Structure 1
Amino acid sequence: MNNINYIILFDGECNFCSFWVKYVIRRDKKDVFRFTSLQSEKGKVLLNKYEVDSALDSVVLIENDKVYIKSTAAFRILRLLGGFRSIFYGLIIIPAFIRNFFYDVMAKYRYKIFGKSDCEFVPTQNRKNKFL
């Protein structure tokens, strides 16, 4: 487990967020990402440790003890996955307030568009090692 450098905190009740987690897991060829939901005890501990507001409506990336949120987190995750997805990291040059405006709109309507799960995301047996 020494190669774990990246922790992704996500909304475990959000269907879109769960899809995103599955997408990252399938493409994490170097096995460097670990996951926990924002609602979980471990998620709450990490939010507290890194002084992230627990009311934050965002994906959170912890990369070598540095915290990234919203669009910056999403673009960094894509860059870290490598391959053609890395080109999207170039959008980081767009000012954060513009990127995050679109991120926030998506976050606001994600339940309405993609639905909300009645229970927290539960990983399959063969993916349990990816979760804290």
Structure 2
Amino acid sequence: MTPTQTPPSAPVLLYDGVCGVCNAAVRTILRYDHRGTLGFAALDSDFARETISRHPELAGLDTAVFVRHPEEPGEAVYVRSSTLLQVAAYLGGWWRLTLAAYMIPPAVRDWLYGRFAAVRYRVGGRYDTCPIPTADVRSRFLDSAY
């Protein structure tokens, strides 16, 4: 396995593929993911649809989702602000400093997340289609179109 391949049990980040802020976040994660194992899938991908079918509570959500142990018996999903904190924990290093946000009640964290999510297209723009990842990281995107 090369560092740019996503192992079957590696975590996966589901994200809004047409959101400029979300795509910038994915590029940032790719830059700092020294393990090189986190996978990515747009919310409108087959992988995301299958994950949502296993977790009906995700139906209708328009938020980033962190999937730990995808397609395994212990699969767990994290949404809203918990997604961001799971990504920070995964990245490690100085990103772990943001885990202090766990001291903020989840309802408050999620409210703040929701406020930003509501204006994310105004802040970062919106693509007409999901941008195609570069060849060196394409194998980490779980979409059959790539």
Q: Structure 1 residue 114: deviation in Å?
A: 1.1
**Greater helix fraction, Structure 1 or Structure 2:** 1
Query: Residue 91 of structure 1 is aligned with which of 67, 85, 101?
Result: 101
2:12–2:39 contact (8 Å) kept in structure 1: yes
Counterparts of 1:1-132 in structure 2 under 5 Å? 1-2=6-7, 4-64=9-69, 65-132=75-142
Runs of at least 5 residues in structure 1 that lack an aligned partner in the other structure: none
Q: Structure 1 residue 53: deviation in Å?
A: 2.7
Q: Percent identity?
A: 25
- C-alpha distance in 1, partners of 2:84/2:105? 15
Q: Structure 1 residue 46: deviation in Å?
A: 1.5
Runs of at least 5 residues in structure 2 that lack an aligned partner in the other structure: 1-5, 70-74
2:66–2:79 contact (8 Å) kept in structure 1: yes
- C-alpha distance in 2, partners of 1:83/1:53? 30
Question: Which residue identity lines up with residue 40 of structure 1 in the other structure?
Answer: S
TM-score normalised according to structure 2 size: 0.84
Q: 1:68 to 1:56 in 2, by over 3 A?
A: same
- C-alpha distance in 2, partners of 1:2/1:40? 18
1:8–1:60 contact (8 Å) kept in structure 2: yes
SS of the counterpart of 2:137?
Answer: helix
1:44–1:54 contact (8 Å) kept in structure 2: no
Q: How many residues align?
A: 132
What's the Cα RMSD here? 1.4
Deviation beyond 3 Å, 4+ runs, structure 1: 1-4
SS of the counterpart of 1:121?
Answer: coil
SS of the counterpart of 2:41?
Answer: strand
Q: 1:94 to 1:20 in 2, by over 3 A?
A: same
Q: Structure 1 residue 93: deviation in Å?
A: 1.7
Question: Which residue identity lines up with residue 129 of structure 2 in the other structure?
Answer: C
